[in-house]
Structure 1
Amino acid sequence: MDWLDQKILTLLKKDSKLSHKEIGKKIHLTGQAVGQRIIRLKELGIIKNYTINLNYNEKQFIRIFMNNNQFSTLEKALNAFEKVDEFYKVSGQVCYLVVAHFDSRGLSEFIEKVSKWARYSVETVIGDRKA
């Protein structure tokens, strides 16, 4: 991956609706050349998918510490919650990191369910500092 690929990724992260032609104008390539680079980035697995970021009133980072080895059961439960945006099985002090956007009632339901298998800590976002 060279600096042009990096620039393409930066532009797509800011606005995934940009056309290949619009990106090309910004980095001095043809739209076709940009398209070929994007295809290659997809094939390499660097671009996983295109998405949008929604602005939620609530956002939590939840750390999950397993009490037992029922990992697949917990993962099924996590996948059942629509308000769970992402979760990762990780190494280190915790077993899972969850990013979610629960309201207070939904968070209570989530905690009640997860408590069957794990301890948890919840960090709630109070302000987004990224410009």
Structure 2
Amino acid sequence: MLQLDDIDQKIINLLQLDSRLSHKEIGQRVHRTGQAVGMRITQLIEQGIIQKYTITVNHQHKQFIQLYLNEQQSFTEVEYLVKQYSQIQECHKVLGKACYMVVSNFEPQDLNQFIEKISQWCRYSVETVIKTI
């Protein structure tokens, strides 16, 4: 695995703030050439440290949903179901009390529909975001 130095970390931080920055713009901020920045980014991608470039959309609604399986053999059904919803931004299989942590942006009526379907396999806890700080 690639060892991250201060320059790599600065490049990553800049890309997290704005993935549209050019190699030249990043280079000016980290005191390297655009070509040197491009080579570092390529290495970070090849090593799997940078996995994708993305944007953040400001959705009107956001929820954190914890799923607790009723039966251990329901993993396949739950994972298939969450993949069917474009409103689910992230789904993580986790250790702890819950089995899955879901980050979603359901409208209230769509959240109710999802909860009704997932309830055949899981108990759940929904935390709704009221303000992002």
Q: In structure 1, give the amino acid aligned to 2:19.
A: S
- Secondary structure of 1:53 counterpart: coil
Equivalent runs, 1:8-87 vs 2, <5 Å: 8-68=11-71, 69-87=73-91
**Unaligned stretches of 5+ residues in structure 1:** none
Q: Which whole-Å deviations, capped at 9, do the CAs of 1:25-54 have from their partners, x for residues lacking one? A: 001000000000000001111101000000
- Following the alignment from structure 2 to structure 1, what is the Cα–Cα distance between the partners of residues 117 and 92? 18
- Following the alignment from structure 2 to structure 1, what is the Cα–Cα distance between the partners of residues 30 and 64? 36
Q: What root-mean-square deviation, in Å, do the aligned CA atoms of Structure 1 and Structure 2 show?
A: 0.5
Aligned-pair identity in percent equals 50
Equivalence for 2:96: 92
Equivalence for 1:104: 108
Number of equivalences: 129
1:115 to 113, 119, 131: 119
Q: What is the TM-score with the length of structure 1 in the denominator? A: 0.97
Equivalence for 2:6: 3
Q: Which runs of 4+ in 1 moved over 6 A?
A: none
Q: Which whole-Å deviations, capped at 9, do the CAs of 1:78-129 have from their partners, x for residues lacking one? A: 0001100010001111000000000110000010011010000000001010
- Secondary structure of 2:124 counterpart: strand
- Secondary structure of 1:80 counterpart: coil
- Secondary structure of 2:60 counterpart: coil
- Following the alignment from structure 2 to structure 1, what is the Cα–Cα distance between the partners of residues 86 and 31? 41
Q: What is the TM-score with the length of structure 2 in the denominator? A: 0.96
